[in-house]
Amino acid sequence: MEMSAMDPGRNDIGRIVAEIAEEMRGHAHRGKVADYIPPLACVPVEKFGLAVVMADGTVHCAGDCDEPFSIQSISKVFALTLVLGAVGDQLWKRVGREPSGSAFNSIVQLETEHGIPRNPFINAGAIVVCDVLLGGLQPREAIGQMLRFVRELAGDDTIAIDETVARAEQETGFRNMALANYMRAFGNIHAPVDLVLGTYFHFCALAMSCRQLALAGRFLMADGRNPVSGFSVVTPRRARRINALMMSCGHYDNSGDFAYRIGLPGKSGVGGGILAVVPGIASIAVWSPGLNRSGNSHLGQLALERLVQKTGWSVFEPRVGSQA
Amino acid sequence: MEMSAMDPGRNDIGRIVAEIAEEMRGHAHRGKVADYIPPLACVPVEKFGLAVVMADGTVHCAGDCDEPFSIQSISKVFALTLVLGAVGDQLWKRVGREPSGSAFNSIVQLETEHGIPRNPFINAGAIVVCDVLLGGLQPREAIGQMLRFVRELAGDDTIAIDETVARAEQETGFRNMALANYMRAFGNIHAPVDLVLGTYFHFCALAMSCRQLALAGRFLMADGRNPVSGFSVVTPRRARRINALMMSCGHYDNSGDFAYRIGLPGKSGVGGGILAVVPGIASIAVWSPGLNRSGNSHLGQLALERLVQKTGWSVFEPRVGSQA
Amino acid sequence: MEMSAMDPGRNDIGRIVAEIAEEMRGHAHRGKVADYIPPLACVPVEKFGLAVVMADGTVHCAGDCDEPFSIQSISKVFALTLVLGAVGDQLWKRVGREPSGSAFNSIVQLETEHGIPRNPFINAGAIVVCDVLLGGLQPREAIGQMLRFVRELAGDDTIAIDETVARAEQETGFRNMALANYMRAFGNIHAPVDLVLGTYFHFCALAMSCRQLALAGRFLMADGRNPVSGFSVVTPRRARRINALMMSCGHYDNSGDFAYRIGLPGKSGVGGGILAVVPGIASIAVWSPGLNRSGNSHLGQLALERLVQKTGWSVFEPRVGSQA
Amino acid sequence: MEMSAMDPGRNDIGRIVAEIAEEMRGHAHRGKVADYIPPLACVPVEKFGLAVVMADGTVHCAGDCDEPFSIQSISKVFALTLVLGAVGDQLWKRVGREPSGSAFNSIVQLETEHGIPRNPFINAGAIVVCDVLLGGLQPREAIGQMLRFVRELAGDDTIAIDETVARAEQETGFRNMALANYMRAFGNIHAPVDLVLGTYFHFCALAMSCRQLALAGRFLMADGRNPVSGFSVVTPRRARRINALMMSCGHYDNSGDFAYRIGLPGKSGVGGGILAVVPGIASIAVWSPGLNRSGNSHLGQLALERLVQKTGWSVFEPRVGSQA
């Protein structure tokens, strides 16, 4: 049975979060943990965390919600936010805004589109984002800036980069090296490729818990402001636009299916995390390391699907009170 | 300056619609009218219509809002709705739900993905939808069913199919014949190709005015119900999902940009029309025959961008009242 | 051990042909008979024929060398010869001369190269060849012309078209219909698609024995002349160029391997036949219906490899007498 | 008028070579000199050299036939010969033998074919060849081995590598770095990418004159033996097979046209050189730095076309004496 679209109360959300975590605990099919680097391969498939931060600051958590995991491609959302702050819409000369229609690390599209990656959430696009950030910075500075940024967004100074992950990525990242060199051949990477990739791999190696991640995502549900400090992170328009990109392109070649089943802006990572945004209502982080064939968290997507069914939070749901 | 997110009153909407039509009237850059068939090529580029149907039934109109135009690919939304009513989720075995990441009539993707089109809103996908509809019907019956369906949705029995357009499509539709035969070679078209395409071309040849189109789109903003009759057209979940598909895939290889700039589920056609949905709030139709390079109405997109700026209707806007 | 490059005498050729047929008779791995149409699927995999026509007219035959089989794509050589006679180098405005680098019925290349097929020996290219032939003829006339042409080349009026094959091709040729319609969308097919394909399918349905095929291929080894009548079929330059095309493009995506292993101009068909040319020395036809993964006769290729090893007939072999 | 196929005498060859050089001297359309690195960009477009080494050792030269130029991709023939000597047919597990059907540095094919390049004469294939050579050697050793090899083949110890070219290639070779990293991601490059490319770029930077190049190519016309020393470089079969690969794949996406117009095994380089082989008769080197759109020497191809017309040397020409 499908829930009606009434907004659940705060107590209800706590109960719903607990129910979903309980339901996921017993789930037999959990997908396959990423194994291309040892630090990811050794994460137990049983892990599951869920955190929901409401617009008023309330936090609802369940499962392994305080255990840091490798956020991987979710970092692309924060990197995009940083770079838009630095160069604004200039970015769009070097990166597109369309879904890729193919696997997340495809190089074919770069050939037919002359080195311009389709969007900032595929690897090639995020590598260009790093290159733009390095326009005025050393890698060390850019990495420091990113770390300070997510710590401030989450209000948590304990967030760190997992150097073991960063190193492992660097040692095996031949496909990303291919992408970066290929774009450099088209003139769309300016800094030395190893510096760009060093920065990129450190961003991917950010380790955050569901709680930290949901807190860091608050500005995306709150018109670009940090709802606690009230400070503006980005303009309202930019917040909406980042959400739109997450909706169109946030899940590699599974983005259409995510919109269809869940109907929220979201961004996934191969560490098994997903950040999802309910504009005006909630920032959500979920983590389960087993991936489906598209490289997105299998249980993470399922948990979000349940959450949206129980809350009516899909952006395609008629708005609360609007029809009375 | 960007509008705050307060919901404009009804009088305001009427004023905003008039303002936008006035602004568009003087616009110099209007794109290029589709010229692959004479009945489209001869439409004056100056035409502009806009219709907004509110949840309470109020209709705000401006410009050439009562002049019928060829809705072309917008018919794919109604065909999808019909076929989901007929076979339900079985459809998804034969059509995907992902954005195509390439031009709307690309045949390359069909080769690499073995005859399964990426989504029901590209030509190949809509041709499969027609084939599924013909599973139990003659072309004449399917076309009649479609006509009755949109007439009922719009509450307007004068809606008709432009046979001149249907015939012209048929005479020049070699690329669609290629797509259909190609999918038949993979076993994903079952009925004779000419019957499937005859049906498809008649759907595309539906002629509707902005007012009729916005009225026909009401069920998508109202949880699947016809807000006047109260009758259910589709379940609330299905309405949301059709909206999600329109968001992901509604504008060919320009869908990401549409989400980024406008942030509403929408579907465009090469006749220059766009249908857009504000869940719970409004059904919108706009028409201006000049197209941009992606094959979408240039002024139509601009008009919707203005409308969303002035109303705060983007689905990525924090929801009204939710943050108080 | 590898043969030295001395030219074997005539008696030797007869012995070699018999030896090879004997060797092939016992061969366990024979590939897979084409099964996309019943008339091909029912051909016994055990069949094997070999015919070698020498420059002086001597014919050496073995096995099922007098049993007609469907020559299929080998007909593309004769169609090309006919069309070059009709329009000359004008043809190359509408067809390329490069190997395709992909499967024989790929449609992808047509998209990126705007409807110009890579060469006249892939299906798309041969369909254009038929369209050019139909420039001044009815299908019936073109088919009659082709039949008279191969009968004259082979000096055998019993050669016929297998109507059962032609009809079966037509009923299942959706991929070829896709190719033809696709090229028509690019303006590279002028006649009605069904007439072009009707002609094409009749050419493919030519039934010839190895003996007839080798006789028909004589002009390609003899500087363009029929060595018996002495009449010129094509100029010496054109004969060389057709041979060059057979070398580059004669075996779909297996042409490089054929050149590597056998080193002769050749053209294969999915009926299991191969026509090969030794310029100045011999015209060869071999038939074994089992195909390898590239769609070429498995034993046919092996038999030719043996023949070339035993005779030193590869065009990459230092020429006889030239080094003395 | 077309020459008959009689073998021209030795005196004739000298005259023909002089005539062709004279004809080319005045040619207006010379193509465009490669400009991706300064050492190539500064080569005067007027340069033209031609050298023909006959089976009996006679050398016919004209124009700038003793001026060294960057042989670039022609080195791929010598690298292939070396690596076949080292590992034999094992090589074919890691490189294909089919023409590429696309531009010489295309990365698309690598994606669809899982990191196996189509042939050893496209960049990706030659990079794998270098990687295999480095299986048991340091780059310095491999480069030394190559230098000794071409010096011995040409009988000329003055042949050298142009370090300026090697360094320039390395500084701008982002596309080759992309190719190498991409293949490494598929496991088809084993040595560190920078060592493989360092070796590759040094091979490409070999500087040779037409005379030296034609001398170095003698083994390919002489059944694998050095015709002066009589020593075997490769077996006769391998010599034929290298020739076959040059015929199929020697001119990037222009190989079919080269076979069609010239009909000889050949290999071109972006420095404007072409090595061509007439089995049993001659080894030919031509040089003119202006390139056509496919990246092959414009005048070089024209000169070879004239030479073949005047001598009847196409391998598709009926063999001398064979028809008498």
What confidence tens digit (pLDDT) does each residue in A44-98 have?
999 999 999 999 999 999 999 999 999 999 999 999 999 999 999 999 999 999 9
Confidence of residue D107 (pLDDT cuts 50, 70, 90): confident
User: What was the pLDDT predicted at B309?
Assistant: 96
Phi, psi of D110 (to 5 degrees): -65, -35
Q: Which residues of D touch A184 (CB under 8 A)?
A: 174
Q: Taking Cα atoms as reference points, which of D203, D229, D202 lies closest to residue D215? A: D229
Cβ–Cβ under 8 Å, residues D211 and D59:
yes
Contact (CB<8Å) D322/C101: no
User: What was the pLDDT predicted at D100?
Assistant: 85
Q: Taking Cα atoms as reference points, which of D135, D121, D112 lies closest to residue D252? A: D121
Confidence of residue A320 (pLDDT cuts 50, 70, 90): low
**Poorest-pLDDT segment among A186-195, A222-231, A284-293, C261-270:** A222-231
Contact (CB<8Å) D107/A106: no
Q: Taking Cα atoms as reference points, which of B23, B315, B168 lies closest to residue A241? A: B315
Q: How far is D308 from chain C (nearest CA, A)?
A: 11
Asked if the model's pLDDT at residue D217 lies above 50, the reply is yes
Q: Which residues of D touch C96 (CB under 8 A)?
A: 256
Residues of chain B with pLDDT under 70: 1-10, 103-105, 320-324
Q: Which residue has the tokens 């990687």?
A: D131
Q: Which of B108, B181, B193 sits opposite C111 (nearest CB)?
A: B108
User: What was the pLDDT predicted at B217?
Assistant: 98
| pLDDT tens profile D261-291 | 999 999 999 999 999 999 999 999 999 999 9
CA distance D271 to D72: 6
User: What was the pLDDT predicted at D113?
Assistant: 85
| pLDDT tens profile A156-213 | 999 999 999 999 999 999 999 999 999 999 999 999 999 999 999 999 999 999 999 9
| pLDDT tens profile B219-255 | 999 999 988 888 999 999 999 999 999 999 999 889 9
| pLDDT tens profile D159-190 | 999 999 999 999 999 999 999 999 999 999 99
Contact (CB<8Å) A178/D181: yes
Closest-approach residue (CA) in chain C for D57: C323
Contact (CB<8Å) D108/A106: no
Contact (CB<8Å) B314/A240: yes
Report, as an integer, the average pLDDT of A113-132. 95
Q: Which residue has the tokens 């038929």?
A: C130
Report, as an integer, the average pLDDT of A295-308. 97
Q: Tell me if residue B208 falls in helix, strand or coil.
A: strand
Asked if the model's pLDDT at residue D322 lies above 60, the reply is no
Confidence of residue D108 (pLDDT cuts 50, 70, 90): confident
Determine the residue type at C156: D
Q: Which residue has the tokens 């109360």?
A: A9
CA distance D205 to A175: 27
Asked if the model's pLDDT at residue C130 lies above 70, the reply is yes
According to DSSP, the β-strands at C69-70 and D32-33 are unpaired
ipTM over 0.90: yes
Closest-approach residue (CA) in chain A for B9: A322
B66 Cβ contact partners less than 8 Å away, ≥ 6 residues apart: B49, B209, B210, B211
| pLDDT tens profile D7-34 | 566 679 999 999 999 999 989 899 999 9
User: What was the pLDDT predicted at A93?
Assistant: 97
CA distance B39 to D4: 61
Cβ–Cβ under 8 Å, residues C316 and D240:
yes
Long-range contacts of range B159-164, CB-CB < 8 Å, 24 or more positions apart?
B159/B68, B159/B206, B159/B207, B159/B208, B159/B212, B160/B68, B160/B206, B160/B207, B161/B202, B161/B205, B161/B206, B161/B207, B162/B39, B162/B68, B162/B70, B162/B205, B162/B206, B162/B207, B163/B205, B164/B39
Report, as an integer, the average pLDDT of D112-122. 92
Q: Tell me if residue C124 falls in helix, strand or coil.
A: helix
Active site residue A252: yes
User: What was the pLDDT predicted at D112?
Assistant: 79
**Residue C23, burial from CB neighbour count under 10 angstroms (0-12, 13-18, 19+):** middle
Phi, psi of B276 (to 5 degrees): -130, 150
Q: Which residue has the tokens 């794919």?
A: B76
CA distance B263 to B256: 9
Cβ–Cβ under 8 Å, residues B65 and B211:
yes
Long-range contacts of range D185-190, CB-CB < 8 Å, 24 or more positions apart?
D185/A174, D185/A175, D185/A178, D185/D115, D186/D110, D186/D114, D186/D115, D186/D116, D187/D115, D188/D94, D188/D115, D188/D116, D188/D117, D188/D128, D188/D131, D189/D127, D189/D128, D189/D131, D190/D131, D190/D134, D190/D135
Determine the residue type at D137: L
User: What was the pLDDT predicted at D4?
Assistant: 40
Q: Taking Cα atoms as reference points, which of B150, B147, B143 lies closest to residue B170? A: B143
Identify any residues that bridge with B52 across adjacent strands, giving them in sequence order: B60, B284
User: What was the pLDDT predicted at A1?
Assistant: 32
Confidence of residue C106 (pLDDT cuts 50, 70, 90): confident
Q: How far is Cα of residue A53 from the mean position of the Cα atoms in its chain?
A: 16
Cβ–Cβ under 8 Å, residues B291 and B283:
no
The per-residue pLDDT of chain D, averaged, comes to: 93
Q: Which of D99, D109, D243 sits opposite C316 (nearest CB)?
A: D243
User: What was the pLDDT predicted at C108?
Assistant: 76
Q: Which residues of B touch C112 (CB under 8 A)?
A: 108
**Structure tokens given for B114:** 């073995």
User: What was the pLDDT predicted at D218?
Assistant: 97
User: What was the pLDDT predicted at D5?
Assistant: 42
Phi, psi of A190 (to 5 degrees): -105, -40
User: What was the pLDDT predicted at B238?
Assistant: 97
**Residue B232, burial from CB neighbour count under 10 angstroms (0-12, 13-18, 19+):** middle
Cβ–Cβ under 8 Å, residues A279 and A20:
no
Report, as an integer, the average pLDDT of D298-307. 98
User: What was the pLDDT predicted at B101?
Assistant: 73
| pLDDT tens profile B20-70 | 999 999 898 999 999 999 999 999 999 999 999 999 999 999 999 999 999
Determine the residue type at B101: G
| pLDDT tens profile C31-87 | 999 999 999 999 999 999 999 999 999 999 999 999 999 999 999 999 999 999 999
User: What was the pLDDT predicted at A109?
Assistant: 81
Q: Which residue in C36, C104, C107 has the most chain B C-beta atoms within 10 A of its own C-beta, making it the best mutation to test that interface?
A: C107
Active site residue D95: no
Report, as an integer, the average pLDDT of A109-137. 93
Q: Where are the alpha helices (DSSP H) in chain A?
A: 10-25, 38-41, 75-87, 108-112, 123-133, 139-154, 163-172, 174-185, 193-204, 210-216, 218-221, 236-249, 255-261, 298-311
Asked if the model's pLDDT at residue A10 lies above 70, the reply is no
Report, as an integer, the average pLDDT of A244-250. 97
User: What was the pLDDT predicted at C229?
Assistant: 83
**Structure tokens given for C49:** 């024929």
Confidence of residue A9 (pLDDT cuts 50, 70, 90): low
CA distance B200 to B197: 5
Confidence of residue C9 (pLDDT cuts 50, 70, 90): low
**Structure tokens given for B159:** 């809606």
Asked if the model's pLDDT at residue D80 lies above 80, the reply is yes
Q: Tell me if residue A33 falls in helix, strand or coil.
A: strand
DSSP C36: S
DSSP C161: E
Q: Which residues of A touch D107 (CB under 8 A)?
A: 107-108, 110-111, 178, 182
CA distance C191 to C189: 6
Q: Taking Cα atoms as reference points, which of B101, B174, B236, D152 lies closest to residue A312? A: B236
For chain C, the chains sharing at least 3 beta-carbon pairs closer than 8 angstroms are B, D
| pLDDT tens profile D239-269 | 999 999 999 999 988 999 999 999 999 999 9
Cβ–Cβ under 8 Å, residues A266 and A249:
no
Active site residue B248: no
Report, as an integer, the average pLDDT of A258-278. 98
**Residue C315, burial from CB neighbour count under 10 angstroms (0-12, 13-18, 19+):** buried
Domains of chain D: 10-72+208-311 (3.40.710.10), 73-204 (3.40.710.10)
Q: Which residues of B touch A257 (CB under 8 A)?
A: 97-98
